[in-house]
Amino acid sequence: MPEKPVKPRALTDRAVAELREEIVSGRLGFGSPLPSEGQLCRRFDVSRVTVRRALAHLKGERLIESRAGVGHFVARRSARRPGGARGSRIEILYVHDMGRSGASLSPLGAAIFSGAAEEASQLGLDLFLCCLDATGLRRQVLARKASALRGVLFDWNDPAVARFLADEGVPFAVVEGDFDDLPVAAVVQDDVGGTLAALTHLAALGHRRIAYLGPDDGWVHSRRRLAGYRQFHLERGWSVEEAMVVFQPDKVSDGATAAEALLAASPPPSAVYVADRRFLPGLLAVLAERKLTVPADLSVAVWGDPDPGAPGAELTRVSWDRAEMGRLAVRLLNDRAESGATGRMQVLVPAKLIDGSSAAAPKATEG
């Protein structure tokens, strides 16, 4: 009686099983090239179609990766999901700006996403950028959470959506945002540390009357930067002159109203810390109208980097590594998914001072 022909599926499974065992056992280490398709055909005595089917299966298990025009290589161990099973929770949604500004990222936002994508690749996670409103996000989460969704990263502040994700048991992390009253995981720039660095730099130049120009919006970052300003004075035993603390009441203004109030103080400040970059244009416009120059008449330190190519790169400013912020956000989210942790957690990205051309010693020694 003639032997029954071996089914193609069984041939594929045999090739997959042998290659998987070599990879998991470590005989084929990370980065090692797999034999060519022709060599695998001869080794397993199968067709090229069967070999390609086996390689596709191993790629689906994230045990190997392909490089165009080069071949197949063993993937990083950190990229492998437990068991290599299909249906592993391997997707992360990176939700940008709640659908308000379109899918495009600013250059600074793109730096965060680039870091997140790099780390996701290292961990074997698929990162998807989307620009969904709250309704669209809820729909996506409910449709995907039982299959591929590992978690959600978002770069905006919406307590209602945060509560929804928590209620649904979906791991999530906030990037460059935070909620004081919710048990969220957040990756944020060090508002207090960056503020202290800017003010310490101005004080070292001889400034004592350093004004604070910031938003009056109750945002967590605004409160922390103002707290840093007050902490700076407290540590030195200096009194905070409330006339030196001026808020811009509306978010759409360029800061001119607050700048006018600052310069009307008697005596006026010799330096100003702009705690929100949106208000810098108004300040500079008011100074130009009064024929005052930076830093000869007023030293300026500003929070945050401008977009690449935009004016302001030469200013003394507080900066932080946005790509590292993205990397940390993915690590934090992955840790929450692995551990099941749900409590509040905050990861601070260090903020440092970039010494530009907008800060100098005051004209006269201050008392």
The number of domains in the chain is 3
Shared-domain flag, residues 208 and 314: yes
Neighbouring-strand partners of residue 301:
273, 316
Shared-domain flag, residues 80 and 177: no
d(CA 211, CA 280): 13
d(CA 367, CA 359): 19
What pLDDT is stored for residue 57 in this prediction? 80
| Under 8 Å between Cβ of 299 and 207 | yes
Cis peptide before 267 (omega within 30 of 0): yes
| DSSP 8-state class, residue 76 | P
pTM of the predicted structure, to 2 decimals: 0.73
d(CA 85, CA 100): 37
Scanning the chain, the segments in alpha helix (DSSP H) are 8-25, 37-44, 48-60, 107-123, 134-144, 159-167, 191-204, 220-236, 256-263, 280-289, 322-339
Shared-domain flag, residues 244 and 291: yes
What pLDDT is stored for residue 174 in this prediction? 92
Query: Could you tell me if residue 258 is inside a domain?
Result: yes
Tens of pLDDT, residues 125-180: 888 888 788 888 899 899 888 778 899 998 877 888 888 998 999 999 999 888 87
Shared-domain flag, residues 69 and 139: no
Band of residue 24 on the pLDDT scale cut at 50, 70, 90: low
Distant-in-sequence, close-in-space partners of 13: CB < 8 Å, separation ≥ 6: none
Name the 3-class secondary structure at 203: helix
d(CA 186, CA 299): 33
Among 151, 146, 155, 142, residue whose Cα is nearest residue 170: 151
Question: 204 φ, ψ to 5°?
Answer: -65, -25
Position 363 pLDDT exceeds 50: yes
Tens of pLDDT, residues 89-111: 478 989 887 656 555 677 888 88
Shared-domain flag, residues 217 and 168: no
Query: Could you tell me if residue 364 is inside a domain?
Result: no
Q: Which residue has the tokens 């390609």?
A: 52
In the chain, the amino acid numbered 177 is: G
| Under 8 Å between Cβ of 153 and 330 | yes
Tens of pLDDT, residues 243-259: 999 998 776 678 899 99
Query: Could you tell me if residue 3 is inside a domain?
Result: no
d(CA 70, CA 115): 26
Shared-domain flag, residues 344 and 238: no
d(CA 133, CA 107): 22
Query: Could you tell me if residue 282 is inside a domain?
Result: yes
d(CA 96, CA 94): 6
* CATH number of the domain enclosing 107: 3.40.50.2300
Look up the domain containing 61 and give its range.
8-84
